[in-house]
Structure 1
Amino acid sequence: MQRNNKSVQAPDKRAGDRLADPRPIVLIGMMGVGKSTIGRRLALRLGLPFVDADDEIEHAAGMTIPEIFARYGEAGFRDGERRVIARLMEEGQQVIATGGGAFMNEETRALILDRAIAIWLDADIDILVERVSRREGRPLLQGKDPRQVLTELAAIRTPVYALAPIKIRSGAGPHEQTVDRIMEVLGR
């Protein structure tokens, strides 16, 4: 693959089958794990487009995610999310950051596992709590204790996230370290 960005590393000579894999790379994991930030940086390093599913959902609905939740509830949001992710999966090789609950939908999960390289970004609850406190507009946290909500969500979601074939730990260090680990796993 040709790369125009000089800061992108050259392909590893030992690169495996994933080097030429045309499927999209889909990042899954809890809110606050860094899917969007890591996804942007990963896409840049790979020379691929990046898309944030939450941004696409807002664009398609013509309203913000909190507005969608307020008007249609979580079930309505999840239905729209499922449709948007299905569309994104058809758009070819790119890096897609999903919302934290997207992979919990059975149909979305099956599509991702069948047609994408699914990467579960995982982090300790302390890291997630610190990161989600930096940004507002997370409907599942509105008026609630973030640590309690994230702990409860992790208990439910972790076994489902574990179905992803690739798991990468996102630590407290710079996101570039996580991107480096993903590049290693992808053979780049």
Structure 2
Amino acid sequence: MPSKEFDTLPNIYLVGPMGAGKTTVGRHLAELLGREFLDSDHEIERRTGATIPWIFEKEGEIGFRSRETIVLDDLTSRRDLVLATGGGVVTQPANRSYLKTRGVVVYLYTPVELQLQRTYRDKNRPLLQVENPEQRLRDLLKLRDPLYRDVAHHIIETNQGAARELAQQILRVILSSGSH
């Protein structure tokens, strides 16, 4: 049973690149805390009745980002939540503001090689449907890493440990830092 000390924790938002493990780690973290877990990409799909690749195809990245901001505003207004965000959520200033001011943001830093291992067969990642996915991941990390770091209250490296261990590490870091 989750500890009473967890009751005072704010929402926890996981940010990072594709393949960082935000959804998997987030589920474990929510279980540890006895909280609801949501994935913003899954929530966008649920609300629109369309897949993210379809939204990208029909509306482009701009259309998707607009939908993402609306959903993020709603989700970050809730309480007692662990939220895994999409890899590009930090590209929009409004999203960075929602995340940074409405909870504790944890950046799951993941080297490109590990991202590639985890995503190379996934056809549901529109930004990786290119000739050279590794270069795309490098380019995205170069652009987004400073944004992840800017919004993050804590940075956790995901290249070591299983998802459950990473969730426990995140909880220890948040509790020891007084981010609640």
- Both structures adopt the same fold (TM-score exceeding 0.5): yes
The question of 1:166 aligning with 2:115 is answered no
| Matched length | 175
- 1:105 equivalent in structure 2: 92
* Greater Rg over alpha carbons, structure: 1
Q: Match of 1:162, SS? A: helix
Query: What are structure 2's unaligned runs of at least 5 residues?
Result: none
Q: How does 1:17-28 map to 2 (within 5 A)?
A: 19-28=6-15
170-179 or 26-35, which moves further after superposition? 170-179
Q: Which runs of 4+ in 1 moved over 4 A?
A: none
Mapped to 1, the partners of 2:153 and 2:160 lie a distance apart of: 23
Partner residue of 1:37 out of 13, 24, 27: 24
Structure 1 residue 180 corresponds to structure 2 residue 168: yes
How is 1:32-181 mapped onto 2 (pairs within 5 angstroms)?
32-163=19-150, 164-181=152-169
**Unpaired stretches in structure 1, ≥5 consecutive residues:** none
Contact 2:77 2:102 in 1 (8 A): no
Aligned equivalents of 1:133, 1:87: Cα separation in 2: 31
TM-score (ref. length: structure 2): 0.91
Amino acid at match of 1:41: H
43-52 or 175-184: bigger deviation: 175-184
User: How many angstroms does 1:106 deviate by?
Assistant: 0.3
Do 1:119 and 1:165's aligned partners in 2 also have CA atoms closer than 8 Å? yes
Secondary structure at the aligned position of 1:187 is classed as helix
TM-score by length of 1: 0.87
Question: Could you say if the C-alpha distance between residues 173 and 145 of structure 1 is closer, same or farther in structure 2, counting changes exceeding 3 Å?
Answer: farther
Instruction: Output one character per residue of 1:35-73: Cα deviation in whole Å (capped at 9) or x when no partner.
Output: 000000110011111001001101111100000001100
CA contact (8 A) 2:20 2:110 kept: yes
Please report how far the alpha carbon of residue 136 of structure 1 lies from its aligned counterpart in structure 2 after TM superposition.
2.2
CA RMSD of aligned residues (A): 1.7
